[in-house]
Chains A and B, each alone.
Chain A
Amino acid sequence: MTIRAQLFITCLADQFFPDTLKHMAQLLTRLGVEISFPERQTCCGQPFFNSGFVSQARPLARNWLDLFGADDAYVVSPSGSCVDFVRHHLPDLFPFDSNEHVRALALAERAYEFSQFLVNVLRVTDLGAVFPIRVTYHASCHLLRGLGAHDEAKRLLRAVQDLELVPLNEEETCCGFGGAFSVIFPEVSGAMMSAKVRNIEASGAQVVVACDAGCLMNIRGGLERAGSRIRAMHLIDLLAQT
């Protein structure tokens, strides 16, 4: 039976990482997934929810729920934080046991971050990618702790031909993005970013990989500001390399 998945592209990737989204669509298609792209999607509401603007988050969440909930296909996203939001916080925006709450819980069960979808649902780790580069991995917080993703991304990386995976010191320490946090407390955010950049430089890697657009924007900016030649890539873009 064909697996069907709706693409939840997320507002950040939509605005800043269109290539990553194209690659995601292509990879899933190549793996035999029947994908669809609900065009009317905008934002799931996470940035508002995380900043305390729950009343603003709710209508966005409702729209998201109605849109993606209309189809019983999986929902796949390139962002761990967005999936963590729709799984663990979105349902609670609606009164317990209300129709929306129940539908949201059901939808939550089939919403997946890309690497977890590949490894845990499709049960695939080798996409035939080739990337003869030394790579290190940054574990995005919401993917790691919110979604319990301990090794899916690394398993995918280890299956990439000629890729050398090196460890990252303080791999699981937050990079300092934190959404609005980065503009509310820019100095602290910057200090955390610098610490992450120092660790990445010390790893000896040529590329650092992460599964979240927010982390990548932050880390990429940090590496650039530090004058580093190290590239920050989304896992999806790396897996598309042949």
Chain B
Amino acid sequence: MTETSSPIHFRDNTRHTPPSIPLATQRATSRFLVNRAARVGEMPNWEDLRQAAHDLRLDALDHLDELIAQVEAEVCKRGGYIHHAGNAEEARRIVLEIAHDHRVKTVVKSKSMATEEIALNHALEAEGIRAIETDLGEYIIQLAGVGPAHIIAPAVFLTKEGIADLFSQKLGVSAPPDPRVLADIASQKLRAEFLHADMGISGANFIVAETGTVVLVTNEGNGRMVTTLPEVHVAVAGIDKIVPTWDALTVLLKLLARSATGQKISTYTSFITGARRSTGEMGAKEFHLVLLDNGRTRIHRDKKARETLICIRCGACLNVCPVYNHVGGHAYGGTYSGPIGAILSPQLLGMAIARELPFASSLCGACVDVCPVKIPITKILLHLRQRVVEGDGVEAASAPLGARIGAQAAALALRVPFLYRVGASKMRILQMPFLHGDSLTSLPWPLNRWTNVRAFPAFKNGFREWAKGRVANGRTLEASRQTLVSSTNDMKLNIAPRVAGTQSDEMDRLIAEINALSGVARRVYESEIGAALRELVEQEQIQRALMWRSENLARWKIGDTLRGQGVELIPSDAGKEEMARAELGITEADFALPETGTLGLLSSDEKPRGVSLLPRVHLALVRASALRADLHQVLTEARSNGYLVLITGPSRTADIELTLTLGVHGPRALYVWVIE
């Protein structure tokens, strides 16, 4: 995707929208909305969360300089490198330098709107570096040579037939138009790339200033692959991604997936704090964070528009917007589309390029209702319209002079009661040639823009005549002094954490939630572990396995059982390519969250990250002591650990025609045994 530098013509882009676009778009957005509604219905404190999220995000903006300094300190403290990129050009240069320093030939990328914004892939390719998008949707549009049409589902506008054709053309494979087959093809192609890439580039859904932690939210395992396997990890993110604390992060994580796709939590949430601490742990050896400004500070200075920056990129506003649903994402011309695009693009790109976008809205306000951080999108649209038409402290007017003169004349005609009445009576006469019964079916330019679509009603003022003598003109009184009662809610919003049920209930809940997501979870007695494992090995045809080292896994004789079945145990210092040959990975969960069916896994020399990522089957054993009632507890305990991944079900994608496919870049099968 190239940087937008020519004016975005929204009118031209939407004059002839092929029906396939609204059809495909609405198929995706309606599914997301239905699921979102179900999640919102389950959360009695949803409005409290939204308000808290809005307030904390705005508060963070007010302290952005301090937070940036804190991120810098925390990243450097841990041996990472931080870079500040004022604009797209600088950002590209920085990444290229890092690539050159490490003689990088291949880069694997996980989804990042920021890297789209700066057209990074193009710059890498120009230097002879292969830059491979690994999120299935992004991989597809990269092959197609276009930008994303939706924040969450970039390839939403393509049919499975279109994608099959694309694969045939660009990859030389003949594939049936079956989403699962197509996803598998992409998955297999990309696995080798992950293992051999020299550098992984990610974005960041959030950056936690408290510890300099990059948070990645994905459903596919590509984000994990990109940040676990290559030796160098570069994260590129806008400065608006910074959140001050892990507590603040918790609020946002509760809102993000629910708002985006209607999942309680995405399949994988990774918390990456710098480089790996030992080779055995796995992860990048060198960590770089590129903080991108690219116009964000300028937006921040504009008090009326600064809330644009609190967006958490969920895409809910796109899903609910009738304009977006009729025209699709590409009509908006830039990286960002839908309502957020209509306010962000004009501020990042300037009005010379994006002046049509603030008008690409009927101001219906549906977006305002669903935004998880309560961005007053319609207010900001109005503010930007004023910037286009009249200019303000940020930009001079960019609307044509004729429009402004016309508006002045119209305003005068409407303001002066005499002119208003004369105008009205004139209209009754002027309309006569165009009158057909009760309506004006075709009018001259520019009003033909209306009548080309539907008839205009006839002018028929008659009320004022009627009112004379029937309704009093109105009396003037001494305007009574009304005291203004403004109610301010000073109450500090306290988001109460979830209270756990009994241990047995919690275990049942964990199992139910995991099974609902196509995992295979059950209770297993300690004494049964051996038998269960033998059964699994046979069922899943396991020949090679990886496992974590822990007291309990040793006590449960996991290694012995595997060897007894003739399964080769690949040692964790064998290197990633060797490890990638294993079909089964066995871990012991550090945390388990029954509410969402989530497992929390830390990492260390004894607990390499690849064990739960590379094999097609992941078996996680969970003891009751790992159970936690609320996400907040897990994050509080894990925050100083350096790395955490939250795993909720097998890896998945719905990027091809919203068809669910498991096992894309991560384990296809997740077994969870709750040990009693």
Contact = CB atoms under 8 A, between A and B. Distances in A.
Interface of A: 6-7, 9, 11, 13-16, 18-19, 21-22, 25, 35-43, 48-57, 59-60, 63, 69-72, 89, 102-103, 105-106, 109, 141-142, 145-146, 172-174, 176-193, 195, 217-218, 220-222, 224-225
Contact of A182 (B11, B389, B450): B450
B323 A188 contact: yes
Contacts of A188: 14, 323, 326-327, 360
B474 A187 contact: no
Interface in B325-383: 326-327, 358-366, 368-369, 382
Nearest to A174: B364
B474 A60 contact: no
Given A36-B472, A52-B388, A225 B455 contact: yes
Interface string B588-609: 0000000000000000000000
A57 B460 CA distance: 25
Contacts of A181: 359, 361-363
Interface in B404-433: 404, 407-408, 410-411, 414-417, 420, 424, 427
Contacts of B359: 51, 180-181, 184-185
Interface stretch (B91-99, B479-487, B643-651): B479-487
Interface string B459-470: 111111011001
Contacts of B388: 52
A43 B449 contact: no
A54 B386 contact: yes
Nearest to A28: B471
A179 B449 CA distance: 13
A99 to B, nearest CB: 11
Contacts of A146: 365
Contacts of B10: 185
Contacts of B366: 141, 145, 172-174
B432 to A, nearest CB: 15
5 contacts: A52-B388, A56-B407, A71-B476, A176-B362, A190-B453
B530 interface: no
Contacts of B461: 14-15, 18
Which of B14, B463, B484 has most chain A Cβ within 10 Å? Answer: B463
A159 to B, nearest CB: 26
A68 B51 CA distance: 35
Contacts of B17: 187, 191
Interface in B541-558: none
B475 interface: yes
Nearest to B454: A221
Contacts of A38: 473-474
Given A7-B471, A55-B390, A173-B322, A224 B455 contact: yes
A37 B365 CA distance: 31
A105 B460 CA distance: 33
B364 A141 contact: yes
Nearest to A13: B463
B577 to A, nearest CB: 52
B480 A71 contact: no
Contacts of B362: 141, 174, 176-179, 181-182, 189, 192
Interface in B49-73: none
B22 interface: yes
Contact of A53 (B411, B439, B458): B411
A141 B361 CA distance: 12
B477 interface: yes
Contacts of B327: 188, 191
Given A37-B467, A71-B474, A186 B452 contact: yes
A49 B322 CA distance: 22
Contacts of A145: 364-366, 368-369
B474 A183 contact: no
A15 B424 contact: yes
Which of A52, A72, A180 has most chain B Cβ within 10 Å? Answer: A52
B492 interface: no
Given A42-B417, A51-B389, A37 B473 contact: yes
A60 B387 CA distance: 20
Contacts of B475: 36, 71
Which of A42, A49, A185 has most chain B Cβ within 10 Å? Answer: A185
Nearest to B360: A185
A60 B414 CA distance: 8
B150 interface: no
Nearest to B446: A183
Given A25-B467, A37-B471, A145-B369, 11 more contacts: A6-B474, A15-B424, A16-B460, A35-B472, A53-B389, A55-B390, A56-B410, A56-B411, A60-B414, A71-B479, A89-B382
A70 B454 CA distance: 40
Given A36-B472, A221-B439, A22 B466 contact: yes
B464 A187 contact: no
B126 interface: no
Nearest to B462: A18
Contact of B382 (A13, A50, A222): A50
B531 interface: no
A201 B431 CA distance: 31
B457 interface: yes
A6 B479 CA distance: 14
List the 8 closest pairs (A to B, CB-CB), nearest first.
A178-B362, A221-B454, A52-B385, A52-B389, A174-B364, A56-B411, A36-B474, A18-B462
Contact of B457 (A43, A183, A217): A217
B407 A48 contact: yes
A36 B415 contact: no
Contacts of A173: 322, 364, 366
B275 to A, nearest CB: 48
A182 to B, nearest CB: 6
A187 B447 CA distance: 14
A53 to B, nearest CB: 4
A109 B484 CA distance: 10
Contacts of A109: 482
A41 B385 CA distance: 26
B471 to A, nearest CB: 4
Interface string B302-334: 000000000000000000001100110000000
A22 B454 CA distance: 26
B15 interface: yes
B322 A192 contact: yes
